[in-house]
Amino acid sequence: MERQLLSGNEAIALGAAHAGVRVAAAYPGTPSTEILEAAARFPEIYTEWSSNEAVAVEVALGASYTGVRAMASMKHVGLNVAADAFMAAATTGVRGGLVIISADDPGIHSSQNEQDSRNYARLGRVPCLEPADSQEAYTFTRLAFELSEEFDTPVLLRPTTRVCHSKSVVQPVEPAAITLTPQFVHEPAKLVMLPGAARGRWPKLTERLEKLAAWGETAECNHIINGSAELGIITSGISFHYAREVFPEASFLKLGLSYPLPERKIKEFTAGVSRIMVIEENDGFLELQLKAMGLSVIGKAAFPRTGEYSPDIIRAAAAGAGLTRPGNPAAAGDTELAKRPPLLCPGCPHAGIYFTLSSLGHRSVLPGRQARPPRLTICGDIGCYTLGAYAPLSAMDTCGCMGAGISQAAGMARAGLPEKPLAVIGDSTFMHSGINSLLNAVYNQANICVLILDNATTAMTGHQGHPGSGVSPAGERRNNVVIENLVRGAGVADVTVVDAFDLKAVRNAVKQGLAAGQLAVVIVRGDCPTLTRKRGKPRLVNEKCDDCGACLLVGCSAIQRDEDGHIFIDRSVCVGEYCTICQQVCPRGAIVEAETAS
């Protein structure tokens, strides 16, 4: 077949398609999002954006039970959400091949923490494959489905950010010839994990692991590259390429299967070298297992325990630990790049509500004015609207994980917080896990005000659909859940829907929600400008402007000061009448349509 230049995510999708996958489910999250988007290009694969990662695994597992091959993809923190479903799949095993992809984010490029998904492989006693480039992303995906069926187990595929988003050449091979009719075979002892059945399954997981370790002893994905007998390096994933660049003379044991480890092969390799180093991003996952085998290895004592690796980082760490002589100065790294603060986009529907919260909550003041003690307690969540935490808006006090804001606010109310807490959540995150929190708040009569910022998409990860948007991964229309109907159906009596770009209506709705003596939900609705791409007549600043800076408090990146301190609007990015928030804020009426400027 013809070679292709693919990203790791595209290669995983192609590998899945060539492996005969029929069902693919995911929740978007960087760096994994493009896997499902690429899979959606294959009409033979049913694809869906599930409402959260646990649902995605459950959908894929259900498909697997009928004998078809299926996969679920997510980012590393999504595997926390899916942990229960992951462990259930690990326990029952599979029928059709089941691959669960968890893309790790070393360096926290777009996440709330840094964690190592390989630990879940050990927890669930399932095999973990780690691709180092796009070719391996393709090959290992196909291999994962074969392993899944041969050993009756889900397989964890763990790419990392640099593998997911970098492109390299892939040589595909002929697609697997898989034709079958889905059917369900009744086998309660395997699939119904009542305690009696679970006790029967659990020892099988240990047996399975031992068989997989034996398989790994001769597997091609675990291979030795002979070099100097002075230094042997054990590594996996993208770290292999970095280490090869820094230590080209060393011998290497590259582990494609990072769990379970092939102990005999490892000891054979280490017996032939004088010094052993383990180079791996995130946790010392391999190092810990190697030391448990009684091997003396150099790992996290020399190399960073956090952050994304690069050849320069490995070279500097090795030199710092006295393992090598200092090399050439590092090439330009992240620390030398210009720092740009994250901002809401011009025309963002979240700007108005955050300006409102900021002003009501005394979070920002005009230049020269004295700051006041902040008011309002605002519990945030994960999404574009998290950017409301940054100045000048500064209107978010907590942000932990998907869907937590509503529950945190409820907890504060029950703890006796004198003021009524606010929870801010986006429409996609509300569908993900905010619904559960809202149901809990209804049931437990939490006196909080919930703001659902509805821009009809999952904007932060690239406009993926969700149950509220009714758009499939392939862009087709599907049923959509109407948020206000759902909220009312959940038992919320005080529900208000407002236009995100009508500041007066937004302010009144928030004040009413705070004043209500019960749980109140305000849905703030407005289109995401980067999705609709609507551009109106831009605004400009006329001679009435006294440069007070009130419009800057909106946090719109189109509004700036020039070198002389005068305010101007970047007409190339202003969306004009589709926003007008700055126009509504200006106390002097100095912001006008470009064509009506005096």
Closest by Cα among 426, 347, 360, 430 to 393: 360
Other CB atoms within a 10 A radius of the CB of residue 41 amount to 14
Report pLDDT for 31.
Answer: 96
Report pLDDT for 194.
Answer: 86
Other CB atoms within a 10 A radius of the CB of residue 3 amount to 10
Cα 31 to Cα 479: distance, rounded to the nearest angstrom: 27
What is the per-residue DSSP string for 110-151?
SSS----THHHHHHHT--EE--SSHHHHHHHHHHHHHHHHHH
Cα 215 to Cα 151: distance, rounded to the nearest angstrom: 10
Looking at residue 560, its amino acid is: Q
Average pLDDT value for residue range 514-526: 97
Tokens of 324: 């090598």
% of the chain exceeding 90 in pLDDT: 88
What is the per-residue DSSP string for 194-236?
-HHHHHHHHHHHHHHHHHHHHHHTT-TTEEEE--EEEEEEEE-
Tell whether the model's pLDDT for residue 483 goes beyond 90. Answer: yes
Cα 6 to Cα 12: distance, rounded to the nearest angstrom: 9
Which of 296-300, 324-328, 445-449, 592-596 is predicted with the least confidence, judged by mean pLDDT? 324-328
Whether the Cβ atoms of residue 563 and residue 492 lie closer than 8 Å to each other: no
Closest by Cα among 376, 370, 358, 355 to 585: 355
Which tens digits make up the pLDDT trace of 41-87? 999 999 999 999 999 999 999 999 999 999 999 999 999 999 999 99
Which tens digits make up the pLDDT trace of 97-138? 999 999 999 999 888 899 999 999 999 999 999 999 999 999
Give the dihedral of Cα atoms 325, 328, 330, 332; nearest 10 deg.
180
Tell whether the model's pLDDT for residue 466 goes beyond 70. Answer: yes
Confidence of residue 457 (pLDDT cuts 50, 70, 90): very high
Cα 275 to Cα 271: distance, rounded to the nearest angstrom: 10
Coil/strand/helix, residue 391: coil
Cα 108 to Cα 307: distance, rounded to the nearest angstrom: 7
Helices (H), 271-372: 285-292, 311-320, 350-360
Report pLDDT for 397.
Answer: 95
Report pLDDT for 322.
Answer: 85
Tell whether the model's pLDDT for residue 244 goes beyond 60. Answer: yes
Tokens of 390: 């940054």
Report pLDDT for 156.
Answer: 98
What is the per-residue DSSP string for 405-467?
HHHHHHHHHHHT-SSPPEEEEEHHHIIIIIHHHHHHHHHTT---EEEEEE-SSBTTTT-B--T
Other CB atoms within a 10 A radius of the CB of residue 571 amount to 13
Tokens of 389: 């935490």
The DSSP bridge pattern shows strands 422-426 and 250-255 to be unpaired
Tell whether the model's pLDDT for residue 597 goes beyond 50. Answer: no
β-pair partners for 250: 228
Confidence of residue 596 (pLDDT cuts 50, 70, 90): low
Tokens of 315: 């070279």
Residue 585 CB burial class (10 angstroms; 0-12, 13-18, ≥19): buried
Up-side HSE of residue 376: CA atoms within 13 Å toward CB? Answer: 27
Report pLDDT for 330.
Answer: 44
C-alpha dist (Å) from residue 200 to 125, 150, 151, 182, 209: 15, 20, 17, 26, 16
Average pLDDT value for residue range 558-565: 94
Closest by Cα among 166, 236, 174, 178 to 10: 166
Which tens digits make up the pLDDT trace of 317-358? 999 888 876 655 444 445 566 667 778 999 999 999 999 999
Which tens digits make up the pLDDT trace of 204-218? 999 999 999 999 999
Report pLDDT for 356.
Answer: 97
Looking at residue 13, its amino acid is: A
Closest by Cα among 553, 552, 584 to 569: 552
- Residues with Cβ within 8 Å of 534's Cβ and at least 6 positions away in sequence, in order, are 527, 575, 578
Which of 99-103, 191-195, 232-236, 365-369 is predicted with the least confidence, judged by mean pLDDT? 365-369
Cα 219 to Cα 147: distance, rounded to the nearest angstrom: 11
Confidence of residue 445 (pLDDT cuts 50, 70, 90): very high
Helices (H), 219-339: 239-246, 263-270, 285-292, 311-320
Confidence of residue 598 (pLDDT cuts 50, 70, 90): very low
Whether the upstream peptide bond of residue 326 has omega within 30° of 0, thus cis, is no
Angle formed at CA 141 by CA 154 and CA 135, multiple of 5 degrees: 155
Average pLDDT value for residue range 510-527: 97
Mean pLDDT of the chain: 94
The DSSP bridge pattern shows strands 155-157 and 128-129 to be parallel
Closest by Cα among 170, 137, 133, 166 to 3: 170
